[in-house]
Amino acid sequence: MKLSTGFDISASALTAQRLRMDVITSNIANAETTRGSFVNGQFQPYKRKMVVVEPIQTSFSSILSKQMNANSAAQGVKVTSIREDQSPNKLVYNPTHPDANAEGYVSMPNVDVMKEMVDMIAASRSYEANVTALNATKSMFVKALEIGK
């Protein structure tokens, strides 16, 4: 096992959580965007986006075999995709809106700002936890170097 494995794991998680916070920020910024994309000659509301994060190594046996063979196995997490939420858009009655249909309803994005704020807090806490882990790993290295004095 490499000495920097702890750094690699924390760094991958920091990168993933930072991207997650960026996507959440974009969702909040577009919570009222009724013209997010142009499809089949019509504007469609913005669709909420979600980050999919998975472990780099998925099976214990693959990690174990790489470690037994003294290969450096990649560890941590990776962002595999950014998907659009397929939940339906919200219909809001506003007949004066330029994007209102014949009945006066406007199709609004499927972004719930409260849900996004909860996700932002969770991503922020995950980011903070990984910074703490990174600092703990750094502290262990410093203590190990002091032993050699």
Q: Report pLDDT for 113.
A: 96
Q: What percent of the chain has pLDDT over 90?
A: 62
Q: How far apart are CA 94 and CA 18, in angstroms?
A: 36
Q: How far apart are CA 59 and CA 29, in angstroms?
A: 38
Segment among 2-11, 20-29, 63-72, 99-108 with least mean pLDDT: 63-72
Q: How far apart are CA 144 and CA 149, in angstroms?
A: 9
In the chain, where the domains are located: 5-31+49-84+111-147
Q: Which fold, 5-31+49-84+111-147?
A: Helix Hairpins (1.10.287)
- Model-level pTM? 0.82
Angle between helices 5-29 and 113-147 (to 10 degrees): 160
Cβ atoms within 10 Å of 123's Cβ, excluding its own:
20
Q: Report pLDDT for 71.
A: 57
Q: How confident is the model at residue 58 (pLDDT cuts 50, 70, 90)?
A: low
pLDDT digits 0-9 by tens, 8-37: 889 999 999 999 999 999 999 999 999 888
**Mean pLDDT across the stretch 122-137?**
94
Q: How far apart are CA 120 and CA 44, in angstroms?
A: 25
